[in-house]
Structure 1
């Protein structure tokens, strides 16, 4: 037990959207590595096996992985994919508790060209977000909530494709941290109330793995 008046901190290293270019990333040391999806390029089991080998080489004592819309094997071959992940906690609408913090991970994003783990906006997504427990400390989703680190500058103007139902759900929770990716263009962090929102997309808009990992001391 730590002395009264002192606090334990967990150093969380956040990445996302590595698209099988994980070996090109300089990953800072920490207690926990979180990958918020789109870990694969075309979504094969061979790519996933290499990712798990890479996890095994990293010093972080815990890792968490969720799927994203490019990670087809988790949708199409779920049993085989889960069996390959030996060096991380894989979360799919499921929790894990680590060192007193409660994590929840979910891969779903609004429908876009019928990628993996896509659902229609509205009730279908709201049903998934309703599963997030009220006592969650750290939420990991592949996509952002609407209006938070979801900005794309397009030739026709600014687009914000984040999920409205997710924004409504996270506003009702008392999260400490919400980690996501998906929108490569809006990498960074934003504090809103008591929750820190982190877009950890490693690839930039040109699918180059140039955005640095984001490190959080929680």
Structure 2
């Protein structure tokens, strides 16, 4: 009551007209990188940093220490990281079998290497797992989203986090032919981060072959996240919008169209993808996914 002393009550309609305007919100800016392989590049400003794997060349403690220090210094409110096939020590079962092939003179400790990421207070490390990210900074967008992250990629040589897939020559695939690991992506995932790309999306190799995973592509059709971030195939960098054909009752996993962004070129350091109305490619509630 003391706070009202000396004031004159106003009519209800007048008080309503003088309410403070609603707090303005801004868009969330994601900075997505992958396959940095021991380089500590200068990062653009943003709210959320996503690293889609291959922080290192062979996953040694010293390599990972430098990578984690670089990530921890980056001024982002949230930092989401998955491993890649080159981050060997983060796949403890693989390293137990094949570690001497890479570090025979100086064996590494997978538990010590993993602790660099899991003990970080500023990094969300996802090993085929989900998390809820909530941005609370007063100067930030104050958004919240669910994310699933996984380090796995189809087997190609002796590398970590690998799984078997049908041969490229097999054109007719049944669910029994495909790996089941991507069934673990929850339906409420807003963002999916994988080291491997989905098949036929950001996965074309120098040999002009699609090297991505068909099971992951089908999982993205099922989940339909707003953003899918991947890496692994260096020469396939870029971004595209995939629209699923959800009106065809008899054909699952069908795509209605793909719209791509042009890569800035060999000398380009980054691609800016504006998913707002101002950028002309606003996200819509149409089941489409942006793959970067």
1: CA distance between counterparts of 2:259 and 2:29? 16
Q: Per-residue displacement from partner, 1:16-57 (whole Å, max 9, x unpaired)?
A: 0000012xx221011111000000022111111111111122
Which moved further from structure 2: 34-43 or 125-134? 125-134
1:73 shift after superposition: 1.2
Aligned counterparts of 1:97 and 1:111: Cα–Cα separation in 2: 30
CA 80–197 in structure 1, closer or farther in 2 if over 3 Å, else same: farther
Contact 1:179 1:197 (C-alpha < 8 Å) held by counterparts = no
Give the match for residue 284 of structure 2.
none
Does structure 1 residue 83 correspond to structure 2 residue 86?
A: no
Higher relative contact order, structure no. (Cα contacts within 8 Å, ≥ 6 residues apart): 1
Q: Secondary structure at the match of 1:3?
A: coil
| Distance in 1 between residues matched to 2:81 and 2:116, nearest whole Å | 12
Matched residues in 2 for 1:212 and 1:186: separation? 14
**Structure number with larger C-alpha Rg:** 2
CA contact (8 A) 2:48 2:76 kept: yes
User: Runs of 5+ in structure 2 lacking a partner?
Assistant: 1-20, 93-108, 135-143, 167-175, 245-257, 261-265, 276-292
Q: 2:193 maps to what in 1?
A: 140
Q: TM-score, normalization: structure 2?
A: 0.63
Deviations 1:132-162 (A, max 9, x none): 00010000000100000111232xxx21110
Instruction: Report how far residue 197 of structure 1 moved.
Output: 10
Instruction: Note the alpha carbon deviations across 1:60-89, whole angstroms, 9 max, x for none.
Output: 111111000000010135532231121311
Instruction: Kindly indicate whether the alpha-carbon contact (under 8 Å) linking 1:108 and 1:119 is maintained by their aligned counterparts in 2.
Output: yes
SS at match of 2:241: strand
Kindly indicate which of the two structures has a greater share of residues assigned to strand.
1
**2:152 matched residue in structure 1:** 108
Task: Find the partner of 1:3 among 10, 22, 25.
Answer: 22
Asked if 1:55 is matched to 2:108, the reply is no
| 8 A Cα contact 1:15 1:214, kept in partner | no
Give the conservation status (yes or no) of the 8 Å contact 1:13–1:214.
no
Q: CA deviation at 1:98?
A: 1.3
Tell me how many residue pairs correspond in the alignment.
202
- Root-mean-square deviation (CA, aligned residues, Å) is 2.7
SS in 2 for 1:192: strand
Q: Secondary structure at the match of 1:101?
A: strand
Would the aligned equivalents of 2:55 and 2:87 in 1 still touch at CA under 8 Å?
A: yes
